[in-house]
């Protein structure tokens, strides 16, 4: 996560106006806007592989994968994020205060890089898990073949599972994606 933008504390309305005029995207946490850093080539390929795999597997269903252009709003914490990939099932539900921010992702995928992994593993999850519709949070490492799958259970607790071989099973979507497909055309090797 980058440094706070030049205006450290903002209201949601100020953030949305700032974001609309900005040349780079910003996440919004606790009244502060943070410029998003660019990713590596491996990050880009892995994100594209996952997006493509989801698109093929979800075709014909009411679930759609969305790239990182989609802003997600967490009403409980009034935070905005741009996940690498989101999956929405059914129609989009937009934030009352942001017609472009959705509040109903079922699955969120973040591809980790050394500069963002701590933020994605900790702070973002503390916000994302407050989304009532979120059933799975998937963290894909871009430096070794390792995926952390966090799945919301019926009692509201989260089961954390590490996947290093075989398939990434996503019960929330009733699909599985082989790790070979996720890491195809990359130099990422088993850890």
Q: If you ran DSSP here, which 8-state letter would residue 124 be given?
A: I
| 3-class DSSP state of 73 | strand
Whether 93 and 103 have beta carbons less than 8 Å apart is answered as: yes
Task: Return the domain boundaries, the chain.
Answer: 1-36, 39-182
| Integer Cα distance of 127 and 29 in angstroms | 9
Q: In sequence order, what are the beta bridge partners of 147? A: 140, 163
User: Backbone phi, then psi, for 108, in 5-degree steps?
Assistant: -125, 135
Tens digit of each residue's pLDDT (9 = 90 or more) over 158-171:
999 999 999 999 99
| Integer Cα distance of 35 and 38 in angstroms | 10
The answer on pLDDT for 188 being more than 80 is yes
User: Checking DSSP bridges between strand 136-141 and strand 107-112, what pairing results, if any?
Assistant: parallel
| Integer Cα distance of 35 and 22 in angstroms | 10
pLDDT of residue 35: 85
The answer on pLDDT for 37 being more than 90 is no
> For a pLDDT cut of 70, what percent of the chain falls above it?
91
Whether 179 and 190 have beta carbons less than 8 Å apart is answered as: no
From the list 52, 48, 16, 50, the residue with the least C-alpha distance to 31 is: 16
Fold of 39-182: tt1808, chain A (3.90.1570)
User: Backbone phi, then psi, for 49, in 5-degree steps?
Assistant: -60, -45
User: In the predicted model, what is the mean pLDDT of the chain?
Assistant: 90
| Claim: this prediction has a pTM higher than 0.85 | yes
pLDDT of residue 4: 47
Tens digit of each residue's pLDDT (9 = 90 or more) over 44-91:
999 999 999 999 999 999 999 999 999 999 999 999 999 999 999 999
> For a pLDDT cut of 90, what percent of the chain falls above it?
74
| Integer Cα distance of 111 and 189 in angstroms | 15
| Integer Cα distance of 17 and 126 in angstroms | 26
128-152 average pLDDT score? 95
């Amino acid at each position: 996560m980058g440094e706070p933008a030049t205006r450290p504390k903002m209201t949601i309305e100020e953030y949305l106006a700032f974001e609309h005029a900005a040349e780079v995207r910003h996440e919004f946490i606790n009244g502060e806007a943070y410029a998003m850093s660019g990713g590596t080539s491996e990050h880009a390929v892995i994100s594209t592989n996952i997006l493509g795999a989801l698109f093929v597997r979800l075709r014909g269903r009411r679930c759609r994968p969305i790239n990182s252009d989609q802003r997600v709003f967490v009403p409980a914490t009034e935070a905005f994020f741009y996940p690498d990939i989101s999956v929405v099932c059914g129609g989009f539900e937009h934030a009352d205060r942001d017609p472009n921010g959705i509040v109903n992702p079922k699955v969120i995928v973040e591809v980790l890089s050394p500069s963002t992994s701590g933020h994605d593993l900790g702070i973002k999850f503390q916000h994302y898990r407050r989304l009532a519709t979120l059933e799975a949070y998937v963290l894909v490492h871009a430096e070794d073949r390792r995926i952390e799958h966090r799945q919301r259970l019926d009692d509201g607790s989260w089961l954390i599972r590490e996947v290093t071989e075989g398939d990434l099973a996503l019960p929330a979507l009733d699909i599985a994606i082989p790790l070979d497909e996720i890491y195809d055309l990359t130099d990422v090797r088993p850890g």
